Amino acid sequence: MHEPSLSALEYYKVLERLARHTAFSAGRELALALQPAALLEMVRSRLAATSEALRLLRANSPIGVGGALDVRPLVERAEREGLLEGTQLLDILGTLQAAGLLQKTLQRLDETFPMLRQFITGLYPLVPLQQAIVRCIDPQGEVLDSASPHLGAVRAEIRTLQNRLNERMQSLLGRYRTHLQEAIITQRQGRYVLAVKAGSKRSVPGLVHDHSASGATLYIEPLELVEVGNELREVELEEQEEVRRILLELSNQVAAAAAVLRETVGTMAQVDLVLARARLSRAMDGVEPALVVRQQERLVVFPPTMASAAAAAGPDREAEEPAGAADTPVDHWPEAVPLGRDEPPLAMARARHPLLDPATVVPIDVQLGGAFRVLVITGPNTGGKTVALKTVGLLTLMAQAGLHVPAAPGARLPLMRQVFADIGDEQSIEQSLSTFSAHMTRIIQILGQANAESLVLLDELGAGTDPVEGAALARALIEALLERGGLTLVTTHHSELKAYAYATAGVENACVEFDVERLAPTYVLTIGLPGRSNALAIAGRLGLPAELLDRARSWLRAEDVQVETFLEQIQQEHTATRLALEEAREAREHAHNLEKRLEREIREFEGQRHEMLARTRAEADRALAEVRERVEALQREMARASASREWLTLARQEVEAAAAVVPEVPPAPPDAQVVLAEKAGRLQAGDAVWVESLGTVGEVLSPPDAAGELEVQVGSFKVRRPASDLRKASRPETRGAAPAVQMPVAVREAPLELEIRGLRVADVEDVLDRYLNDAYLAGLPFVRIIHGKGTGVLRQVVREILSTHPLVASFAGAPDRDGGEGATIAHLASR
């Protein structure tokens, strides 16, 4: 690529942002050296790898190169027979461990990550070398005693000699206490010494190894310790030699693996670069663009791997991840599709300059190619012309470097052999070149290299010289670039170029809008309309006297005034149309979202309805089983109580009748039969209700009790249900209505006897009421309530309740053989 153009477009600033997302120095070096490629397969591979990494980041994958260091200088030192220190060996160990962890992570990826999986073969964890370093070096970088048997023995001997010296020195401290400056044992030049007062030098015989800065203290090694000190020094030297031998042995192992270590570091740096590209994409909300190339005299489009895979899932499938979260194997990359004749090879919606604050930057929609290959952008200063120019060039370079581009999904960019840019107001003092001369020098270089596979970006074309000559020169340059067949964007202030662009095939006008009321640019790029200068309008808004404005207008040609008026009208109509389209798009998106939400709620409702029906059927089955069990138990009880055979026959018939309707639990009745309303709030006796758990209609017999339950008549059954299970309903039409289906009701266990001895009086009424309700539903003719004799309080409470209970026909004390006054027999009302 053209190096001056990369700098002019601030491409290297993008690389600096990319480098901030790397994890270690080798990856950072690759990021800062990343160059745009012009080969299709290289660019596609780069973009696919970025997309795969982005997919992993969105899935919170632990992939990374944490702990890795660029140990290649250490490897080179080991190759030159250099000795590596323990801490340097730990750096190599950490890098190998990081390589092993990365390799395992990549091996767990499936075939939808082909670009990342290819890095597996370039990683060599070198487990034997890791084990050797771990065995010999501790976490602080020191050689372990266990590194060799000889080192262990030598260090044991050192500790023995040090202990002997310490013991003797302790005794000497006591002997020479009055001659010592301090009663401490210290070392000088590796020898154990005493801090002796200078005036007591002759009182402590020994060797002087050092003195204090003031000269008041001499550090003397007592003569009687010299021999032991010499022996300790010899063993310490032996230890140092053994440590050096061990470090040299490990360094030689590093040197032997130099090639694979370099490859491993290089591979990890490449993975780090790919992950950095993905992190940058996530930070700027980037997308993988489609690539447009020329094949056999026609333009074809290579769709992005991620977007095509997401589209293959089908339009009805809701994406669980943001657009671009899917991927396909390299072997199944989408094939190229022809580009339509009038379709532009460069097309981006909501494209943003990557170096500007995303909170304030105004996105642009830009197209180039197809019906026109040259775009002439006009408009006021600081209106965003140069930013638009740089955005197009910079995003083209980023895509060819394997970076995602900050734009809306569906971005399409041509693969360019060269990107040329002449941007900025630069003067060359050394070469005595003016602004115009500097521009022309660069443009001449560009014209000498531009061709059909070039993107040319020229800022302020024709500026810096006479307006008439500048406009003519700009027109000639545009024609020359148009003949070369590439794509060209130019910005200019020359009004003559607006008419030229309008009248010339292959050239199109564009403008950046300006809000005259706010005296501020909108930065919106509009293709198809030339820009207005707005000079007089701006001057008027800033306070220039009206008479001066009128005088200035009098000097304008009539056709110029007419053109400006037409442009203003067209601009207003275009703005109104754009706003209407935006509102229509928002309304369409809102309607689409509502439609999807409604479909989802309908699916959820149907699922809940089927689940409720299944649960009701299951409850009915359980209720029927309980009824059968109770009848069998009742049969045994009634056999002892001399129950009539006719009553048992009727009970069994009722059970069989209930069993016949269990599989036919109906769904919610149609609107013609029951109209569901709000949840039961203040239901009253006589209200019709829909019983959700039973799937049928009933009638309220009593208002909610203290527990919030209501008594409801359901067919021939009376049940107590919580208010949350009831919905107020309209009464079904009786004309031609089908007979009501009687539902078996799940009831509590209802034995023939109820024992309440030991209950509190306050609890008796609730327990007895529930028991009588269950016994009535079970069809028991009578029940026995055991309350005991005691003081008679429970007996009195029970009989008071029975005397007013609607389900009790009569009651009396039990016969003596059944408990006498300790029990009461209650005969239930007939059904």
CATH code, 358? 3.40.50.300
- Residue 359 shares a structural domain with residue 420: yes
- Residue 520 shares a structural domain with residue 380: yes
Per-residue pLDDT at 430 exceeds 90: no
- Residue 111 shares a structural domain with residue 41: yes
Question: For the chain, how long is the longest CA-to-CA vector?
Answer: 134
Residue 505 lies in a domain: yes
528/290: higher pLDDT = 290
pTM higher than the cut 0.85: no
User: Cβ–Cβ contacts within 10 Å for residue 744, how many?
Assistant: 26
Band of pLDDT at residue 85, cut at 50, 70 and 90 = very high
Phi-psi bin for 367: left (phi > 0), alpha (psi -120 to 50), beta?
Answer: beta
Burial of 29: CB neighbours in 10 Å, binned 0-12, 13-18, 19+? middle
User: Which pLDDT value is given to residue 748?
Assistant: 46
Q: Is the dihedral of CA 3, 8, 14, 19 positive or negative?
A: positive
CA distances from 479 to 436, 440, 482 (A): 20, 16, 5
H or E stretch covering 367: strand 364-368
Q: Which of 66-80, 145-159, 660-674, 787-801 has the lowest mean pLDDT?
A: 660-674
782/309: higher pLDDT = 782
Band of pLDDT at residue 318, cut at 50, 70 and 90 = very low
Tell me which of 730, 746, 762 is where a domain ends.
Answer: 746
Band of pLDDT at residue 533, cut at 50, 70 and 90 = low
- CB contact at 8 A, 261 and 71: yes
- Residue 382 shares a structural domain with residue 507: yes
DSSP one-letter code for 406: S
- Bridge partners of 454, per DSSP, are 418
Structure confidence by residue, pLDDT tens digits, 712-763? 887 656 777 888 788 887 654 443 333 433 444 444 457 788 888 888 888 8
Which pair of tokens denotes residue 523?
């930065």
User: Which pLDDT value is given to residue 658?
Assistant: 58
DSSP 556-575: S-HHHHHHHHHHHHHHHHHH
d(CA 413, CA 207): 84
Residues 6+ apart with CB under 8 A from 113: 52, 55, 56, 106, 327
Per-residue pLDDT at 638 exceeds 90: no
- Residue 461 shares a structural domain with residue 376: yes
- CB contact at 8 A, 676 and 729: yes
Residue 442 lies in a domain: yes
The phi and psi torsions of 152 (rounded to 5 degrees) equal: -65, -40
Which pair of tokens denotes residue 732?
């079904």
Tell me the H-state helices in 112-225. Answer: 114-117, 127-136, 149-175
Tell me which of 524, 555, 586 is where a domain ends.
Answer: 555
User: Which pLDDT value is given to residue 26?
Assistant: 96
Q: Which domain holds residue 795?
A: 753-828
Residue 135 lies in a domain: no
d(CA 497, CA 377): 10
- Residue 108 shares a structural domain with residue 201: no
d(CA 83, CA 351): 54
- Residue 356 shares a structural domain with residue 384: yes
Q: What is the tally of structural domains in the chain?
A: 5
Structure confidence by residue, pLDDT tens digits, 344-370? 999 999 999 999 888 888 899 999 998
Residue 77 lies in a domain: yes
Average pLDDT over residues 323-350: 70
d(CA 742, CA 225): 111
- Bridge partners of 412, per DSSP, are 290, 347
- Residue 180 shares a structural domain with residue 271: no
- Residue 51 shares a structural domain with residue 113: yes
- % of the chain surpassing 70 pLDDT: 80
- Residue 109 shares a structural domain with residue 160: no
Average pLDDT over residues 333-340: 81
Q: Which of 256-265, 396-405, 550-559 has the lowest mean pLDDT?
A: 550-559
| Residue among 535, 383, 348 at smallest CA distance from 459 | 383
Structure confidence by residue, pLDDT tens digits, 440-475? 888 899 999 999 999 999 988 877 677 788 888 889
Residue 500 lies in a domain: yes
User: Which pLDDT value is given to residue 310?
Assistant: 40
Residue 167 lies in a domain: yes
- Average pLDDT of the chain to the nearest whole number: 81
The phi and psi torsions of 508 (rounded to 5 degrees) equal: -135, 145
d(CA 372, CA 506): 4
Residue 333 lies in a domain: no
- % of the chain surpassing 90 pLDDT: 36
Residues 6+ apart with CB under 8 A from 158: 232, 235, 236, 239
User: Which pLDDT value is given to residue 519?
Assistant: 55
User: For residue 168, what is the domain's CATH number?
Assistant: 1.10.1420.10
543/679: higher pLDDT = 543
d(CA 824, CA 783): 8
- The sheet with strand 696-702 has its strands ordered as 676-679, 726-729, 688-691, 696-702, 709-714, 717-722
Q: In a 3-state reduction of DSSP, which class is residue 250?
A: helix
User: For residue 808, what is the domain's CATH number?
Assistant: 3.30.1370.110
| Residue among 709, 679, 701 at smallest CA distance from 692 | 679
Residues 6+ apart with CB under 8 A from 253: 129, 132
User: Which pLDDT value is given to residue 558?
Assistant: 56
572-586 core/surface letters (b: 16 or more CB in 10 A; e: else):
eeeeeeeeeeeeeee
- Residue 106 shares a structural domain with residue 170: no
- CB contact at 8 A, 785 and 814: no
- Residue 697 shares a structural domain with residue 798: no
Tell me which of 499, 524, 555 is where a domain ends.
Answer: 555
Strand ranges in 410-541 using DSSP code E only, listed in sequence order: 412-414, 418-422, 454-458, 487-492, 506-515, 520-527
Band of pLDDT at residue 89, cut at 50, 70 and 90 = very high
Residue 571 lies in a domain: no
User: Which pLDDT value is given to residue 52?
Assistant: 94
